Amino acid sequence: MSYSPLIDQLITALRCLPGVGAKSAQRMAFQLLERDRQGGRLLAEALQQAMADVGHCAQCRNLTEQPLCGICASHSRDPQLLCVVESPADVVAIEQSGSFRGRYFVLQGHLSPLDGLGPDDIGIPQLLERLQESEVEELIIATNPTVEGEATAHYIVEQVRPMGLNVTRIAHGVPLGGELEYVDGSTLTHAFNGRKAL
């Protein structure tokens, strides 16, 4: 037993972070204790506040400590465009690309019958309600291009069809900066099927 109880407890607690194993947790604990106690105290406080106060936006289900998230509350977003994504990290990625000026709906997951995740768990009723009440004209489905993400996209399309909205899916194909040689076969198939006239 080479750690004192409090250090042991800190190392164990750090391992709840994704990608942090025994060795990194030890390194983090010693780094904070030896060289950055102030950073450790600020982190403790930030964690405590975020875990206690961050909830979900009443309109889009994104993470926020306010009743409405910054994007839903903003008047400069186009109310006719709604983009459906799986997670808050997807919102961050799209916002960083600067390519979308509408609002979002965050499923917080995807349909996954094996894990017991059905339409209610990913907020489909709330999405349908929002589409009926609001002035959305185009629903852009940006779930992940995985088996579950595609299944979720199809399910949403089926549910939304009677409403007569424009429903679109973001394009799949060869990523920019990639080399054809290293792109997988399914992506190439998508890229060929989705080809455009120049």
Q: Does 58 bind its own copies (CB under 8 A)?
A: no
Rounded to the nearest whole angstrom, what is the least distance from the CB of residue 101 to its own copies in the complex? 13
Residues 64-93 that bind its own copies (CB under 8 A): 64-66, 69-71, 87-89, 91-92
**The pair of three-digit structure tokens given for residue 171, joined into one six-digit string:** 């394009």
Please tell me whether residue 108 binds its own copies under the rule CB under 8 A. Answer: yes
Q: Interface mask (CB under 8 A) for its own copies, residues 2-41, using x and -?
A: xxxxxx-xx-xxx-xxxx----x-xxxxxxxxx-xx-xxx
Helix axes 37-53, 22-35, angle to 10 degrees: 120
Q: Which helix (H) or strand (E) holds 159?
A: helix 147-160
Strand order, beta sheet including 138-141: 103-106, 81-85, 138-141, 166-169
| Separation between Cα atoms, residue 70 and residue 84, nearest integer Å | 17
- Interacting residues toward its own copies by CB under 8 A: 1-7, 9-10, 12-14, 16-19, 24, 26-34, 36-37, 39-54, 63-66, 69-71, 87-89, 91-92, 95-96, 108
